[in-house]
Amino acid sequence: MKELKARLIERIKRTDTVESFRFAPAERIDFVAGQFMQVILDENNRENKELNKYLSFSSSPLRPYIEFTKRISQSAFCQRLEALKPGDEILLKAPLGACVFKEEYKKIAFLIGGIGITPVISIIEYITEKKTPTDTVLFYSNRNESEIAFRPELEQWKAQNDKLKVCYTVSDCQPKDASCVYGRISKELLLEKLPDLKERTTFIFGPPKMVEAIASLCKELGCDKNTIKTESFIGY
């Protein structure tokens, strides 16, 4: 773990409310897919939780750049991010976190809500680029189809990786796309579409209440608690 400067090289709109920020770090950051960083916008007061926040890498460790992705709000932190222009530098502390992909995992499942998708993108991009033979299933839940971040990338990786399956669920309205499932990630949905769930290492990322509910559901379906990896995304 180290602190280093990183220069903004690109901003990418993922949805109406979600944006990625791509940086060239001053030196290489050796991180593991699934880890996160601290973005330090107030270098003088490290205890300033409004301007110094933890965000997941949303890019593969194999990429020459690093990226994080944020749901944009009216917060002071987001206003600072929105003011960044290509060439601007910020301070990062990285890498952090132990909820990561390991090469030994042969079968994995992601049960994800909203912006919890960010570390999953890092992992799936890494698996696809490295051609790791990991049987991977992603269930990705949002309120509506317009909030599905990284959908073009996920579809591209699916086309490249026959061991990757993706199921989108939307909870607030009947989806127009037949490939999306109406409703939340539920016991019935998992029994129907993922009968081998208890054979997988399962990552659950998203809002705290959703993470807690789905972790309980996985245990109910027979998953060993040691195979369930969780992180809650507060104030993302």
- Quote the CA–CA distance of 150 and 63 in Å, as a whole number: 17
Reported residue count of the chain is 236
The pLDDT tens digits of the residues spanning 85-120 come to 999 999 999 999 999 999 999 999 999 999 999 999
Digit-coded pLDDT (tens) for 156-175: 999 999 999 999 999 877 76
* H helix or E strand, kind and range, residue 24: strand 18-25
pLDDT tens across 121-149, in order?
999 999 999 999 999 999 999 999 999 99
pLDDT number for residue 175:
64
pLDDT of residue 217: 96
> What are the structure tokens assigned to 78, written together?
């987001």
DSSP line for 153-209: HHHHHHHH-TTEEEEEEESSS--SSTTEEES-S-HHHHHHH-TTGGGSEEEEEESHH
pLDDT in tens, 188-210: 999 999 999 999 999 999 999 99
Report the chain's mean pLDDT, rounded to a whole number. 94
User: In terms of Cα–Cα distance, which of 117, 123, 154, 150 is closest to 31?
Assistant: 123
Rounded to an integer, what distance in angstroms lies between the CA atom of residue 156 and that of residue 54?
28
Q: Are the CB atoms for 211 and 232 separated by under 8 Å?
A: yes
Complete domains list, the chain, with CATH: 2-96 (2.40.30.10), 107-232 (3.40.50.80)
Region 51-71: mean pLDDT is: 97
pTM of the model: 0.95
Confidence of residue 233 (pLDDT cuts 50, 70, 90): confident
